[in-house]
Amino acid sequence: MSSGFDVKDTIMQIKPYVPGESKMDTDKPIRQLAANEAPLGASPKAIEAAQGSVAQLNRYPEGGAVALREKIGERFGFPAEQLICGAGSDEIIALICQAFTSEGSEVLYSQHGFLMYKISALAAGATPVSAPESDLRMDVDSMIDAMTENTRIVFVANPNNPTGSYSTKAELERLHAALPEDALLVIDAAYSEYVDAEAYSDGSDLVAQNKNVVMTRTFSKLFGLAALRIGWAYGSKEVIDILNRVRGPFNVSVPAQAAATAALDDWDWAMDAKHLNNRLLPAVTQRLRGMGLTVYDSVGNFILIDFSDADRATAADAFLRSEGIIGRGVAGYGLPTCLRMTIGTEDDMDVLTQALTRFIESESA
């Protein structure tokens, strides 16, 4: 398609990201399970901090998010000067593509990897390359096979959205070892706070040892601050310096900085949210499997249900919507037979399982 403007060809190849829906015309209570959001909301202390921060809306934010970076550094044990904050980790993914690619550069990710890698690569004028997965997991050998002399960035979501699978520390190390030194490994750890698996790594250990590794994180998931758009990354001084050159000077708003700082102080709230998720995740997985549905193992705050057939997935989605439940079709991720559902509240999960039971009954009626 031609726009009549002289924009990069790659921009016209972008299929705009379709966010999970949040509204529907129904008289049933709406269960918003489409965007992997926090079902309990944000910490009351974070909300209070955001509210308290709006008295001086005429003032620009603190551009370097110094206090927040210090707080993140304290909480997670990273040097504040090796951190950068962004308007969601989406912005950081975009900045990475903008800064570390030029025309002809390849940006590699795995087959069902988070969609923003492809979109951000194309927006930057780079060429996206996807490597086949095995069993809905990033496959190190297939990623290595897909590397070329033009590979500049390799993205791995760990855990990955929408599959819920994770890569082990050993797999990340093997992938990194195969990467040219002038290419960047980005470990997108948006859901890392939920993961307890021993073999898992959020990638921070690789960042500490290597100049060419970055870990991205977000306040949108566990901390429930998606509306404020706030994420961060940990990388070498060299990488953070490069990203700071392309970052807008006031990219993170005052309420976002205030709320995120307060959210980190309210650690018990975050841990309660994690424990609720990690109790409901296996329970709902088991219940749905008991009903004969295929549910993939997930370590995030969502599950991927495979209906084995695209029409059946579409019918299940429509049925759930008629019951007020908004899930996420993932055909855009090459998974047309699946629906992704956020782990909501206990009540949300009861309503979901009951609705799916009725859906399955309706099929044989």
Ligand X SMILES: Cc1ncc(COP(=O)(O)O)c(C=O)c1O
Residues that bind ligand X (CB under 6 A): 36, 88-90, 114, 157, 161, 188, 190, 218, 220, 226, 231
CB of 228 to ligand X, least distance (A): 9
| Residue 157 or 258 with smaller CB distance to ligand X | 157
Cα–Cα distance list, 247 to 24, 120, 242, 351 (Å): 36, 15, 9, 43
CB of 49 to ligand X, least distance (A): 19
CB of 365 to ligand X, least distance (A): 36
What distance in Å separates the CA atoms of residue 111 and residue 142, rounded to the nearest whole number? 10
| Residue 78 or 155 with smaller CB distance to ligand X | 155
| Residue 17 or 60 with smaller CB distance to ligand X | 17
Half-sphere exposure of residue 106, counting CA atoms within 13 Å on the CB side?
14
User: In 10 A of CB 239, how many CB atoms?
Assistant: 24
CB of 31 to ligand X, least distance (A): 18
CB of 218 to ligand X, least distance (A): 3
Contact 182, 147 (CB under 8 A): no
What distance in Å separates the CA atoms of residue 187 and residue 178, rounded to the nearest whole number? 15
What distance in Å separates the CA atoms of residue 17 and residue 15, rounded to the nearest whole number? 6
Residue 140 buriedness (CB in 10 A; 0-12 / 13-18 / 19+): buried
Residue for token pair 């990203």: 243
| Residue 175 or 190 with smaller CB distance to ligand X | 190
Residue nearest to ligand X (CB): 88
Cα–Cα distance list, 333 to 95, 130, 229, 239 (Å): 22, 11, 23, 29
Which own/partner pairs from 312-315 qualify as long-range (CB within 8 Å, at least 24 positions apart)?
312/337, 312/363, 313/337, 313/338, 313/339, 315/359, 315/363
Instruction: Write the CB contacts of 197 (distance below 8 Å, at least 6 apart in sequence).
Output: 166, 299
| Residue 90 or 317 with smaller CB distance to ligand X | 90
| Residue 155 or 307 with smaller CB distance to ligand X | 155
| Residue 178 or 226 with smaller CB distance to ligand X | 226
CB of 190 to ligand X, least distance (A): 4
What distance in Å separates the CA atoms of residue 256 and residue 229, rounded to the nearest whole number? 7
CB of 143 to ligand X, least distance (A): 17
